[in-house]
Structure 1
């Protein structure tokens, strides 16, 4: 019989391609990963990986095992969520996934309120441009700008916010303000990398970027702000933060881009006491911003 604990080591190596990557994902040492893979191969009397100098590559036997191991993983995670969902205590850990910008303005103040009222609740906050997989418990709750369509997730709309176009006072003094309809002619632009926001390449808040010069790219909203504050160029930024930066000014104020913010949680965890306390605090922070 396949041991689930060994199967999760197999999945980690299959997904990362290396013992080192799997060890980092599982928070163990490489030797432990190697032993678990060897034990699983011995149990199955099959070689699951082709060892190359750079990567561990699945053999046909490994490929055959992959789907079954993923099914085991989903079953184990479902058990964890259902047990956690029975918890009515205002204690324990909540993993929160959000962006650095939403985190700074809304989520951290909400967490502060929760911690003051319920010190037994511990928070792990994961900030990333990537969407956390709640089904695999990469997070328990997410505050993000995309509404999920998975049937096992509950989504609650928190607010509709807006983006605007901003530059530093220093930049405007040196280069002048861009004018609507000129597609940023003669101006420098600061943007997310295309993999993060493909639509931004064509326009900022509806103003075409075809005549502008892209001078800086990043995956991070925090770095986007820093680049604009440093006078690198013009960027599309969330108004809830940019309006409170004294070194920034909004240009083309009629150009705006609304976006929705959603709180997303797995149905198995949504009604736990600690989750409800955090959800209420986060919703209150967004309500105050309207």
Structure 2
């Protein structure tokens, strides 16, 4: 079982279809099917059950999966350790972050980087989904959740207090909510993941029980945009809201949890020159906001 066959086997196992596996691998579906059939013939075992629900592992496939995952981990370690010794200020760096942080901080930082090191190409992945850093889906991540994987190096870039904000137009037409009113008579803009927490949702330390949620967002950028165009009241990190021109409501209050931003990379890449260069410019950009 060679590495190319292993990649195809793992892609089919994860995606549950030849078409989806081909899309992930960047090859055509016929090639995936042909290589999988050849692998099963070589091993003398059927690895997948084919059904209308997709491909599922057989007992033999479960055994093959263990070996395939070990091979994948070894391949990733080989790449990480080899790249980790690279002292050239050239090559690709995969950077994952959110749209909001990219527009506010990272794109300006990358422009400065490009002026100093034009041979470094940054592949910027903008997504609210967390990529698997341990599996090298990104070289660097700038995100709001600190990972607990001991193989990853983390650095806190920011810890911004969060306040309650609205647009000038909204406050002119609706007025400021009364403290203790639970936002009665007011429209609210919220971060969608917060709606699914166990504890009751609050904004600015105030229950939203009497308010009306008119807009919820998975993206902090669209949440800020919704507040800016007058959809309603919502929470925004103070450092960002001030640059957006939003009006702070109840300035004596702030959210109990600050808005934290973490820089994450794999420890095997800590001596890679191009990784260090990108990290330096990101750290400098955040420091300039303090």
TM-score scaled by length of structure 2: 0.93
Q: Deviations over 1:214-270 (max 9, x none)?
A: 122221122212222232222112223221223x32212222232322211101112
Q: For the Cα contact (< 8 Å) 1:114–1:281, is it kept in 2? A: yes
Name the structure 2 match of 1:60.
Answer: 59
1:126-205 to 2 correspondences below 5 Å: 126-194=125-193, 198=197, 202-205=201-204
Name the structure 2 match of 1:231.
Answer: 230
What RMSD, in angstroms, separates the aligned Cα atoms of the two structures? 1.9
1:1-290 to 2 correspondences below 5 Å: 2-194=1-193, 198=197, 202-246=201-245, 248-257=246-255, 258-290=258-290
Q: Which runs of 5+ in 2 are unaligned?
A: none
- Which range moves more in the overlay, 180-189 or 87-96? 180-189
Q: Which runs of 5+ in 1 are unaligned?
A: none
Query: Are the structure 2 counterparts of residues 155 and 196 from structure 1 closer, same or farther at C-alpha, using a change threshold of 3 Å?
Result: farther
Query: Are the structure 2 counterparts of residues 11 and 232 from structure 1 closer, same or farther at C-alpha, using a change threshold of 3 Å?
Result: same
Whole-Å Cα distance in 2 between the matches of residues 160 and 192 of structure 1? 18
Q: How many residues align?
A: 288
Q: Kindly state the Cα deviation for residue 200 of structure 1 after the two structures are TM-superposed.
A: 8.7
TM-score scaled by length of structure 1: 0.93
Q: For the Cα contact (< 8 Å) 1:162–1:239, is it kept in 2? A: yes
Q: For the Cα contact (< 8 Å) 1:191–1:200, is it kept in 2? A: no
Three-state SS of the structure 2 residue aligned to 1:164 is strand
Three-state SS of the structure 2 residue aligned to 1:159 is strand
Q: Kindly state the Cα deviation for residue 140 of structure 1 after the two structures are TM-superposed.
A: 0.3
Three-state SS of the structure 2 residue aligned to 1:244 is helix
